[in-house]
Amino acid sequence: MIKVQNLYKKFGSNLVLNDISVTIKQGEVVSVIGPSGSGKSTFLRCLNLLEKPTSGTVLINETDLTAKGADIHKSRQQIGMVFQHFHLFPHLTVLENLTYAPIKVKGLKRAEANDKARLLLAKVGLSDKAAAYPSSLSGGQKQRVAIARALAMEPELLLFDEPTSALDPEMVKEVLDVMKDLAKSGMTMVVVTHEMGFAREVADRVIFLDHGSLVEEGSPAAFFASPKTERAREFLEKVL
């Protein structure tokens, strides 16, 4: 379970996140949507402390990530992240991308890590690319490898930062399909996305941010059919 309490984030004097409190249950899929500049990505990056919150707490299974002296590396091992621009390690093969952290950080044996990585590659449909370098893959393939890399650490929670925004339109589906499978398998996911279709179909809950504040949250069915706030209504009119 993830519990975010009174989260504030300032860049200089610019207030980017304004008093956000959210609780995410085990196995829940939450979509974070909102106009650009609303603080969606910053919110996501605060969950694994890529951005340090100005104040507030982030609890993951009762461990306070924001506490003084918290073992941030240890916590991050339980939180996978998938980026908009993939950020695969270009000098390592696909297989090495998946095995590096499990071997180095979790102390897995190479053979064991390789077996697990191959299973994950099969799961995302890229078994034949194990020996390839990232530069030879398409955008959609890169993103699927990135998802597999995050899964290789067996995280409790998976964060997605606009995972399909940098993809050509015809590659969006292959990535969303992988994400749907994950959601079905009970993975806890927080997804910042512009894919309203995904939010509507797959998410258990939608969170709408605007100007750094949590304006509205609710089930996708209710949110998309009849948003309660004016700002959410305006936003939906523009994107749907």
Partner 1 sequence: MNLDFSQLVPYIPFMLKGIWTTIQFVIVSIIVGSILGTLLALFKIGTVKPLRWFADAYTSIFRGTPLILQLMIIYYSVPQLTGYDINAFTSAVLAFGLNSSAYISEIIRAGIQAVDKGQMEAAQALGIPYRAMMKDIILPQALKNILPALMNEFITLTKESAIVSTIGYLDLMRRAQVVGSDLFRNFEPLLFVGFIYWCMVMVLTVIGRMIERRLKLSD
Instruction: Give the footprint of partner 1 on residues 16-75 (CB under 8 A).
Output: 48, 50, 73-75
Counting contacts by CB under 8 A, is residue 79 touching partner 1?
A: yes
74, 64 contact by CB (below 8 A): no
Of the residues 89, 118, 125, 204, which one makes contact with partner 1 according to CB under 8 A: 89
Smallest separation, CB 26 to partner 1 (Å)? 20
Rounded Cα distance between 68 and 156, Å, is 22
Give the Cα separation of 124 and 174 in Å (integer).
9
What is the residue type of 118?
Answer: R
Of 129-158, binders to partner 1 (CB under 8 A) are 133-135, 149-150, 153
DSSP 29: E
Distance CA 162, CA 158 (A): 13
Output the six-digit token pair for 98. Answer: 């998946």
Contact flag: residue 91 with partner 1 (CB under 8 A): yes
Q: Quick one: angle between helices 139-151 and 94-104, nearest 10?
A: 20
Per-residue mark of binding to partner 1, 160-199 (x: CB under 8 A): ----------------------------------------
Which one of 81, 157, 191, 214 is in contact with partner 1 (CB under 8 A)? 81
Does 80 engage in binding with partner 1 (CB under 8 A)?
Answer: yes
Query: Judged by CB under 8 A, which stretch of 6-14, 88-96, 189-197, 217-225 contacts partner 1?
Result: 88-96
Which of 67, 105, 221, 225 touches partner 1 (CB under 8 A)?
A: 105
- Nearest residue (CB) to partner 1, 81 versus 191: 81
First vs last C-alpha separation in the chain: 32
Tell whether residue 88 is a contact of partner 1 (CB under 8 A). yes
Sheet of strand 29-33: strand arrangement: 79-82, 157-161, 188-192, 29-33, 205-210, 213-218
117, 148 contact by CB (below 8 A): yes
* Residue ranges that bind partner 1, judged by CB under 8 A: 48, 50, 73-77, 79-81, 83, 85, 87-92, 100-101, 104-105, 133-135, 149-150, 153
